[in-house]
Amino acid sequence: MMQPEMPICNTCGEQVGFGSDGNSVFVSCHECNFPICKACLDYEIKEGHTHCIQCGSPYDHGTMTIADVAEKEPVAHTSMGSHLSNPQDSGLHARNISTVSTVDSEMIDESGNPIWKSRIDGWKDKKNKNKKKVTKVPKEVQVPTDQQMDENQQPGEPNAMQPLSQIIPIPKSQITPYRIVIIVRLIILGLFFHYRITNPVESSYGLWLTSVICEIWFAISWVLDQFPKWYPVNRVTFTDELSRRYEREGEPSELAGVDFFVSTVDPLKEPPLITANTVLSILAVDYPVDKVSCYVSDDGAAMLSFESLVETSEFARKWVPFCKKFSIEPRAPEFYFSQKIDYLKDKIQPSFVKERRAMKREYEEYKVRVNALVAKAQKTPEDGWTMQDGTPWPGNNPRDHPGMIQVFLGHNGALDVDGNELPRLVYVSREKRPGYQHHKKAGAENALVRVSAVLTNAPYILNLDCDHYLNNSKAVREAMCFFMDPQVGRDVCYVQFPQRFDGIDRSDRYANRNTVFFDVNMKGLDGIQGPVYVGTGCVFYRQALYGYGPPSLPTLKPASSSSCCCCGPKKPKKDLEEFKRDARRDDLNAAIFNLKEIESYDEYDRSLLISQMSFEKTFGMSSVFIESTLMENGGLAESANPATMINEAIHVISCGYEEKTAWGKEIGWIYGSVTEDILTGFKMHCRGWRSIYCMPTRPAFKGSAPINLSDRLHQVLRWALGSVEIFLSRHCPLWYGWGGGRLKLLQRFAYINTIVYPFTSLPLVAYCTLPAICLLTGKFIIPTLSNLAAVWFLGLFLSIITTSVLEIRWSGVSIEELWRNEQFWVIGGVSAHLFAVFQGFLKMLAGVDTNFTVTSKQADDLEFGELYMIKWTTVLIPPTTLLVLNLVGVVAGFSDALNKGYEAWGPLFGKVFFAFWVVLHLYPFLKGLMGRQNRTPTIVILWSVLLASVFSLVWVKIDPFVSKNDSTLNQGCIAIDC
């Protein structure tokens, strides 16, 4: 009866068995109750391993039992599931230990091959296979480095283990006033709306009602944006401690492997030289060479991308050793050589100047070769491209071509000029055929996940856009300080770095840097459940991408779980069934299964759970890939055959591989929106994972951003459209994932804010139109203010200003950055966000896909010349209209006041202030329309004239020069004159 409750041996997978008394469960270590059977313990001692694998305590000759341990201290029985969730063990990243051997040893046969084809029949031979493996597995088991005691360390000395990262809370002198002002502002908002609702303006009821509705929506948006910033935190990492712990001199590095993903589509729009600089910065990263692999996804199957990568791999043989020899920063040659700094600073080697000049000459020659390839690719031959051997390029038709994989560098590839090994560099172009949905960037990223799992299977993945290079060569080490910290990394699904940009004008006219978002909002989320995923500069835990839940997911209820074999009856089967249902209920069944739960299942349920059929329905028809998903700490399976790895990799990127699987639905990058990054991070947080925000002193990554007005609005339009698509999907944060309570409330507020912000454009356009209407009609949205009402208005303005000042104080952003963000919130809201709402509804409800194209003009070849480029697009129409409308309204208002006399000037100032608020926020837009030296596009002039004419006619129709009481006055004047 007690068989199902018997712990499982961590080494051989058999039940631990009973002790010498025949009644109590055998225990090898009386300190931590680590599950290991008597046979495996005897073998360990025979091999000279006299200390516990888990805690390092000496074995007590294997004579202890559960009953003996209970006399010292009552403990719950330890299973493999609890071992996997142990904070200390979660820091183990040795490649020779994986969940294939620890969770279910029957998943691998004697020769190390996966038992998929035999399915359930293989379970019948479980005992025989495990007995044969008993003498093999223990040799691979090692004590984690972070649990080893130094030989010179005395027992009385404190533990030498230091944290790899630390949270630095915001000082109370800064955060406490900030929170108080937020609460005060919330109270003032309530009193303000009480006044606004109870004091309607009868003479202009429609305008008053419109303004109140808009103000209520703005208040809701403020709450969704403000309260997720309630717990901002700063973090600091200790990379030196990471090296001391995992990179001991004379021993192989124990740092975890990282697979880099770089995505590109069209080399004519995304210059190959920019992509090459990103790749070169990755290959030269400050990290063990055998732990780094770079996968470049060419989703356009362009021969130009392939040939430029050939040139890049050859140049890398010279560039990588140069960077490592002289500690170059940054390690992207284009940006290193263009720095306007003293490059001799901290470079004391006599040969540096000579080698730097030689390397710069090599890079210039490399650029010439790459630019020649670009020039050649400008005109495609009629018969398509041909390779050097004369065969046609397989990707001549970018919409119908086979999958292509080419390994340029790697463990068996070319060495650098110093004879050292280089990181692996792999070119990948997934198969595309007509009639298949390929899901753009998200589909390309998922293809890279599968290819990398087959070829290298590093436990961590770092994805970058092709124009984001490593600005800090130690960025990966910064991320590993969180992942490899046993106390922090257990439940971390990804580490997000802020985006920083090159080539932006000093004033940052259109808020391209997004400083407020990256330095304020993301810090706030880091104190809750973690920052959102922003699409690039992010290091993922591979298992989280596979849909697994974190180790700390709720286990069986304490009342239902047995503490020891003699402490109560067997747990009822009913509780287990309820637990299974709860773990898979509603939308939270996204977690395929939690590795901790396996030990709670009986043999039949376990066989169904990890059978071939269940895995193939989830991950697809690839036994090699399926086996890799079970390797929690990465590494290639013993059954991996190098001769067939490329064929298997080609198989997993076939266009039909994802059909009838969970790819894009529950695992990998999630489909359904052009902003797949938001969806992917949201699903992980809903499963209970948390993320980390890492802001090293030297920015980890840098990229390029569109700095002219039209391109910036077009970028914002795409982001807003993605948010609308998520709002109209089943993954909307308003209703998705409430059942399990794994997504914290303030975190949900943040996600709701990311998908509803485009809808703010509707009340914002209305609110920006109200000043002009009030000036043209002589009416106003606010009645005559009483002294108490004036206090509420004054208090509201002061609370807004105080909140911003205190936010600047703890975040470190400047007043200018905050103001630019406020301006572009209005500019984007009345243009790109407005179009995104209509386009999203047309696309999701009517199936009409409307694209707002942008046409370019040439810019001056000067610094920031692109800033003055004018690209006409329909997105520019609404803000242009609002500008003209408010300027016409101001002219009309002053004309009316001059006509009516002194009494009209008082009400005029309130209306004009309101109009100038709109014009001031739209001023960067107006300046962008004017371009350099006031060369405004003809289309803008035509629109301005047309709109001015229309509103002038409206003004004449309203006739503001004559008031309603003028008729009696005129009659009197006529009588006197007579």
Residue 269 is labelled as binding a ligand = yes
Is 298 an active-site residue? Answer: no
- Residue position matching structure tokens 């003004």: 955
Nearest to 616 by CA among 647, 573, 583, 652: 652
Spell out the SS3 assignment of 292-323.
EEEEEEECCCCHHHHHHHHHHHHHHHHHHHHH
DSSP state of 406: E
Q: What are the residues whose beta carbons fall under 8 Å from the beta carbon of 30, sequence distance 6 or more?
A: 57, 60, 64, 68, 69, 72
Residue 270 is labelled as binding a ligand = yes
Q: Would you call 419 helix, strand, or coil by DSSP?
A: coil
Query: Phi, psi at residue 176, to the nearest 5°?
Result: -65, -50
Residue 857 is labelled as binding a ligand = no
Task: Outline where DSSP puts E strands in 233-371.
Answer: 233-237, 258-264, 292-298
Distance of CA 856 to the CA centre of its chain: 31
Q: Taking every pair of C-alpha atoms in the chain, what is the biggest distance, in angstroms?
A: 131
Contact (CB, 8 A) for 30 and 69: yes
In one-letter notation, the amino acid at residue 185 is R
Cα separation, 847 vs 466, in Å, equals: 31
- Using only C-alpha atoms, what is the Rg of the chain? 33
In one-letter notation, the amino acid at residue 21 is D
Is 299 an active-site residue? Answer: yes
What order of strands is seen across the sheet that includes strand 701-704?
469-470, 701-704, 500-502
Cα separation, 490 vs 595, in Å, equals: 13
Catalytic residue among 299, 416, 467, 711: 299
- Residue 811's Cβ-side half-sphere holds a number of Cα atoms within 13 Å equal to 27
Catalytic residue among 298, 416, 508, 677: 677
Cα angle 486-491-495, degrees, rounded to a multiple of 5:
90
Tokens of 561: 């779980």
Contact (CB, 8 A) for 303 and 377: yes
Q: What are the residues whose beta carbons fall under 8 Å from the beta carbon of 903, sequence distance 6 or more?
A: none
Task: Please confirm whether the linkage preceding 771 is cis (ω < 30° from 0).
Answer: no
Give me the residues paired with residue 184 across strands.
none
Residue 465 is labelled as binding a ligand = yes
Task: Outline where DSSP puts E strands in 392-548.
Answer: 404-409, 424-429, 460-465, 469-470, 492-496, 500-502, 538-541
How deeply is 299 buried, as exposed, middle or buried, from its count of CB atoms within 10 A (0-12, 13-18, 19+)? buried
Residue 57 is labelled as binding a ligand = no
Bridge pairing between strands 469-470 and 701-704: antiparallel
Helix (H) or strand (E) holding 849: none
Q: Which residues are annotated as a binding site for UDP-alpha-D-glucose?
A: 263, 269-270, 299, 440
Q: Please identify every residue annotated as catalytic.
A: 299, 677
Q: Which residues are annotated as a binding site?
A: 263, 269-270, 299, 440-441, 465
